[in-house]
Amino acid sequence: MADQVLPATARTLLARTARAQRDGRAPSLVAGVVRDGRLAWSAGRGAVADPHTDVQYRLGSISKTVTAVAVMRLRDEGRLGLDEPVDRHVPGTPFGDRTVGQLLSHLAGAGSETPGGWWERVPGGSLADLQLGAADVVLGAARRFHYSNLGFGLLGELVARHRGRPWEEVVATEVLAPLGMTRTTPRPTGAAAQGSAVHPWADVVLPEPEHDAGVMAAAGQLWATLADLGRFAAFLLGDTGDVLSPATLEEMTVPAGVDPAQPGWSAYGLGLQVQRVDGQTLVGHGGSMPGFLAGVFVDRAEQAGAVMLTNTTSGVDGALVPGLLADLRAAEPRVVDAWAPSAPPVELEALGVWFWGPTPHVLRASAGGLLHLGPLAGRSGRASRFAPRADGTWVGLDGYYAGETLRIAPDHLDLATFVFTRTPYDRSAPVPGGVDERGWTS
């Protein structure tokens, strides 16, 4: 594959990849960066067959994101709601009162693993074979994030029951094939790496097992090549084709239970990990299964992604994928589109400074026909973007006012019971509690 990056950039990316393979003592490692919908650079290190972009490795938990896409397709078709109880779709489990959305975001309180033998190293069976009971509910609903492989096994079962076909057939026809990911399969086919464990004190390897995980396949079974994983990165960057709408993909990237305004955090959306690294928000998923590690993360603001696959149980630095993105951003920063005038989505008179009590805020037109309300420059405070509704109101997209309704009147803004006025505590506006008749005094 011809590099689509500058020679100096390629050298930097190769140096980081080579060091990760050597220091992590990985039998083989393949990595790449994605721009403009395809791999712009890639490399293979160690004992990897040629072409390195067409060797399958196990994706591990990246399979969860594929499962989540299948669930969101059902939601978009009106077959389920994210706030509906699991029992409505997969009856008879101890998670019946937990919601589909809670399973997707690891907030359902489901146990991290299945009962019995560790599912990642022993063959699996049906949902009934798991014999789930009360002990598999380990936390209350929506109390805290708790990563659950079991939860995504249940989501795979949900997909299968709605479609009347096995999970692997559904994701193959509805997600993988439309994206052109023809070398992504539930079991290895063609050129595929052998999963290995590397001895901690010697440079020797031990083959790891591979099997059909049964109902737990939806949590970690898929195998893919670097080329296919690069295509999935392009999907996460917005090239969704007919698989999902851009709005649904955006919904999946919204963190659950974390304030994204903080300088550093790690969270989970709907089947997607969301991380703040060095001031950049990265969206994607990591993966691990016995013998394999994987990663795909994208920077949607920079429109770049990075991918990595390796056949070792542990040892490779998890910072490789974010590091490749940082290298690319530093060496070849994105050149943004030129600014151009555009018609504001509201009358100009509605824009400008508004006061919440004595605190100045600015309502301004934003790209894409949106509005942005936030504190005056140099001040701290709540900020959100708003999208128009058909009835003339606006709905908050993010920040404190996400989901809240903004109404614009000539003399005030009405937002979640807060009233913003043109001057501090304007007596002519419906300020909650009224304004003291004595007015401002010294």
Structure tokens at 131: 């014999």
- The side-by-side arrangement of strands in the sheet containing 266-268 is 38-46, 28-35, 304-310, 292-299, 280-289, 273-277, 266-268
Indicate if 373 and 325 belong to the same structural domain.
no
- Verify that 223 and 268 share a domain, yes or no: yes
For residues 316 and 391, state if they share a domain: no
Q: What per-residue confidence (pLDDT) applies to 1?
A: 53
Neighbours of 317 (CB within 10 A): 15
Return all residues near 7 (Cβ < 8 A) that are at least 6 apart.
none
Is residue 441 a part of any domain in this protein? no
Q: Are 61 and 198 members of one domain? A: yes
Assess whether 119 and 43 both reside in one domain. Answer: yes
Question: Which of 336, 356, 385 delimits the end of a domain?
Answer: 336
Structure tokens at 432: 């909650």
Structural domain boundaries, residue 403:
348-421
Residue at a domain's end among 309, 336, 363 = 336
Q: Are residues 64 and 160 in the same domain?
A: yes
Residue 127 is predicted with a pLDDT of: 95
Residue 129 lies in a domain: yes
The predicted pLDDT at position 99 comes to 98
Q: Are 401 and 418 in contact (CB under 8 A)?
A: no
CA angle 109, 113, 118 (to 5 degrees): 170
The torsion angles phi and psi of 395, rounded to 5 degrees, stand at: -115, 135
Residues 353, 258 share a domain: no
Rounded to whole angstroms, the Cα distance separating 267 from 110 reads 17
Position 300 in a domain: yes
CA angle, residues 390, 393, 398, in degrees to nearest 5: 105
Predicted structure pTM score: 0.93
In a domain, 13, yes or no: yes
Answer yes or no: is 53 within a domain. yes
352 & 297 share domain: no
In a domain, 32, yes or no: yes
| Residue 135 CB neighbours (<10 A) | 9
12 and 74 in a single domain? The answer is: yes
- Of 301, 426, 414, 417, the closest CA to residue 363 belongs to 414
Domain boundary among 295, 316, 336: 336
Give the model's pLDDT for residue 238: 96
| DSSP for residue 135 | G
Query: Same domain for 293 and 380?
Result: no
Overall number of domains in the chain: 2
Q: How do the pLDDT tens digits run along the chain, 442 residues long?
A: 567 999 999 999 999 999 999 999 999 999 999 999 999 999 999 999 999 999 999 999 999 999 999 999 999 999 999 999 999 999 999 999 999 999 999 999 999 999 988 899 999 999 999 999 999 999 999 988 999 999 999 999 999 999 999 999 999 999 999 999 999 999 999 999 999 999 999 999 999 999 999 999 999 999 999 999 999 999 999 999 899 999 999 999 998 867 666 667 889 999 999 999 988 999 999 999 999 999 999 999 999 999 999 999 999 999 999 999 999 999 999 998 999 999 999 999 999 999 999 999 999 999 889 999 999 988 888 999 999 999 999 999 998 999 999 999 999 999 999 999 999 999 999 999 999 999 999 8
The tokens for 368 are 């894409």
pLDDT at 3: 77
User: With the CA atoms of 223, 226, 227 and 233 taken in that order, what torsion angle do they form, in degrees rounded to the nearest 10?
Assistant: 90
Based on the domain organization, do 287 and 408 belong to the same domain?
A: no
Same domain, 158 and 261: yes
pLDDT given for residue 233 in this prediction: 98
**Token output for 392:** 């003339």
Does a structural domain hold residue 341? no
435 part of a folded domain = no
